[in-house]
Amino acid sequence: MSGKNTEDIIPMADLTRTHNVSVRFIEEMPFNGDGAHEYQEFWSYRKILEELKKTYPGIYKLPDPPASTSYNYQIPGHKGTIGIIAAFSRTFCGTCNRLRITPQGQFKTCLYDDGVFNIKDLLRQGWDDASVTQRIYEALQNRAKDGFEAEARRTVGVVSESMSTIGG
């Protein structure tokens, strides 16, 4: 988060030196719920990568697995890997296969939509598995092509919910 933890990027990346872990960085999302702080500067995936390159100029791109939401990198000589998620820039939308259910039961095909239907309500109304499955298939057939389109389709305005309330 701008002005909050950017000094932790390199120490976090250093964890990959001796540990076979995947350290992931994510662009700060615009929806932090009430009390969101003002951005000092936007830390895009490119800016995060440039910060890593200052310390690790040999960092190189790895192939991304299918449906990956992160761009993956390796630092020469390190056991682990680095992933950078361009969640706000939304450059991975074409390969995203994530589905979410909020704590309130809203079924979401994108972090940026306002929910397609309430799966909890359907189950409480006694819908059988086949009917719920059909509703999910219909939602997938009408999925937005990217987060920008999903946000434009919202009926309740711009995204302002907290990540914890949207299943992120």
pLDDT digit string, tens, across residues 130-146: 999 999 999 988 887 77
Question: Quick one: 66 and 115 in the same domain?
Answer: no
Residue among 80, 98, 108 nearest 12 (CA): 80
DSSP conformational letter for 56: -
- Contact status, residue 83 vs residue 73, Cβ threshold 8 Å: yes
Low-confidence winner among 70-74, 110-114, 162-166 (lowest mean pLDDT): 162-166
Domain membership flag for residue 1 = no
Asked if 161 and 85 sit in the same domain, the reply is: no
**pLDDT score, position 111:** 77
Asked whether residue 13 falls in the same domain as residue 89, the answer is yes
Q: How many structural domains are present in the chain? A: 2
Average pLDDT over residues 115-119: 88
> Which whole number is the average pLDDT over 66-95?
83
From 93, 121, 150, give the residue that closes a domain: 93
- Please tell me the predicted confidence (pLDDT) of residue 59: 97
Sole residue written with tokens 């830390």: 43
- Rounded Cα–Cα distance for residues 20 and 80 (Å): 4
Over the stretch 34-80, which tens digit does the pLDDT of each residue have? 445 555 567 788 889 999 999 999 999 999 888 777 889 999 999 99
Residue 117, domain extent: 98-165
Q: Considering the domain boundaries, does residue 127 fall inside one?
A: yes
| Closest residue by Cα to residue 1 from 54, 34, 47 | 47
More confident residue, 125 or 151: 125
Task: Centre a 10 Å sphere on the Cβ of residue 55 and count the other Cβ atoms it contains.
Answer: 12
